[in-house]
Amino acid sequence: MSTFVVKLTQSELPAHIQAGLPISWDAKGATIHIGDSDLSLNTISLCARRLFSMLAGDVALTGDWHMEQQWAFARSFGGPKSSNRVHWVENADTANLENLYKAFAFARDLVNQTPEQLSPESLSAQASAWICSLAPSTAAVKTWTGEELQQAGWQGIYEVGRGSERPPVLLEIDYNPTGNAQAPTEIALVGKGITFDSGGYSIKSSEGMLDMKCDMGGAATVTAALGLAIMQGINKRIKLYLCCAENLISGHAYKLGDIITYKNGTTVEIVNTDAEGRLVLADGLMAATESGAAIIVDAATLTGAAVAAVGREYNAVFSMDVQLRNTFLALSEDVNEPHWPLPLTPEHRNKCPSPFADTANSRAQKGGGAGGASNAAGFLSRFVNAEGKGWLHIDLAAAYNRDGSDIMPNGGTGIGIRSICALLTK
C-alpha cells in the first residue's frame, strides 16, 4: 500500500478551491494551507480527521512542520480499527515525536482493550512489563494481589475488587536511575485502574456501563507519562502506584452501608458503590505518602461531574497547593493539552457527611449532588498531608470519547500524558 504525502504551507488556500477545510490536492498528495498566523493546531487536527476518513494507508509529512503541528496531525489521524501510521519530517524533532507516539499508543491501546482482555492482574502485568522494557535495570516491581491487599491494610482496593473472581491488585513500580538505594522519591504517580465498572450494587444503566472499560484511563495515563519521561532520560527517583480492580456484583461484593476502615484510621461509609474510584485511590495516595515523595500526582476517570463541568475536551485539575496547580497548568499549556482548574478547599473534605463514619464516599444523590467533582477531590484530600501540600489531582474528563470528535479519534485520547511528563521532567 502506497504512502500518501501531506504537505503543510503558510500560503492561503487558492481562491478557486471551495472547501470547508483548507486542503488542496495535486498529483503528489494533499496540502494543508494554514495561512501566515500561528501554529493552527486545531485546523491541522480537523484536516487530519478529514484525511483519515478519505485515505487508506500511511501518511508522510513533508514541508516546514513544527513539532507541535506534527503531533497535532498524528494524534488526530487514526482510530481504534486502523493501523495507519504517520511518518515524521526528518529533523531534530523526529526522535522526540517517535517516543511521544510510543507512549501515546501504549495508553490508547490499553484503554481500548476489552474488559475481558484487561483484568486487574493483566493491567498490572502490562504496565510493569512496558516500564521494565524501557528501564530493565532501574525499575523494581512489587504487587499486592487479592487477600494480600487486606493483610497489608490496602482495604479500599480489596473491598472494591472482592466481588470479582479476578482479584484486585496494587502495583508499585520503583523507578530509581540514581544507583542509590537511599535516594529520595521525588515524585509519586497514582492511577485509578478500574478495568471494568458495573457500578456494583449501585448498578449503572446499560448505556452508562458500555464504555466502562475506559475506567482504568488514569492508570494508563500515569504509566505512559512515566514511560515517556524515561525515554526522555529522566534521572529522578519516581514511584508509580496503580490501583487495579473490577467493580462487579456477586455474593462477595461490597454493599451499601458497609464501612471501610483505612490504614490512616479514616472510616468511610459506602453510600454509593459506583463511587468506587476514590476508594481505591485512597490506598494509592496513602502508599504514595508513605514513599515520602515531595510531589504526588493522581489521575483518574473519576466523576461524571467533571465531564459536566469542563466537557470532554478538558481534564479537570484540583489542588490545595496553588503554586503546584499553577505550575502544572502552565506546563499543560506549553504542551497544548487542555486542562482547567476546579475548586478544592479543606472544607470539601466534609461535603459527604455520614452519621456512622468519618465520611461517606459520596452523597446519596444522583451524580453525587452539586459540586460532585470537587467533593470527590475533597474525599481524596483525607489521604494525603492535611494541607494538601505537593498533591495534585486530575479528573480525566478528556481521556476517552466513544464517538470521537471533530479533532480526536474514537476511544482513548492520551490527553494528560504530556502534561504529567512535563511535570516529571521539570
User: For 344-356, what is each residue's pLDDT tens digit?
Assistant: 999 999 999 999 9
Whole-angstrom Cα distance, residue 339 to residue 313? 8
Please indicate whether residue 12 or residue 65 has the higher confidence score (pLDDT). Answer: 65
CA 426 to chain centre: 19
Catalytic residue among 49, 75, 108, 278: 278
First to last CA, the chain: 42
For residue range 205-214, what is the model confidence (pLDDT) as tens digits? 999 999 999 9
Catalytic residue among 102, 204, 236, 263: 204
194 pLDDT more than 60: yes
Cell output for 68: 507541535
Is position 142 annotated as part of the catalytic site?
Answer: no
Of 179, 422, 173, residue with least CA distance to 287:
173
Question: Is 3.40.630.10 the CATH number for 105-425?
Answer: yes
What confidence category does residue 17 fall into, taking pLDDT thresholds of 50, 70 and 90? confident
For residue range 331-344, what is the model confidence (pLDDT) as tens digits? 999 999 999 999 99
The single-letter DSSP state of residue 180 is -
Beta bridge partners of 360: 269
Of 341, 348, 300, 343, residue with least CA distance to 156:
300
The pLDDT score that the predictor gives to residue 366 is 78
- The residue assigned the cell 515531595 is 294
1 pLDDT more than 60: no
pTM of the model: 0.97
Of 357, 331, 360, 347, residue with least CA distance to 425:
331
Of 109, 145, 147, 101, residue with least CA distance to 126:
109
* Mean of pLDDT values over 98-116: 97
What confidence category does residue 111 fall into, taking pLDDT thresholds of 50, 70 and 90? very high
The pLDDT score that the predictor gives to residue 81 is 84
Whole-angstrom Cα distance, residue 95 to residue 180? 29
* Mean of pLDDT values over 41-63: 92
Which residue ranges make up each domain of the chain? 4-91, 105-425
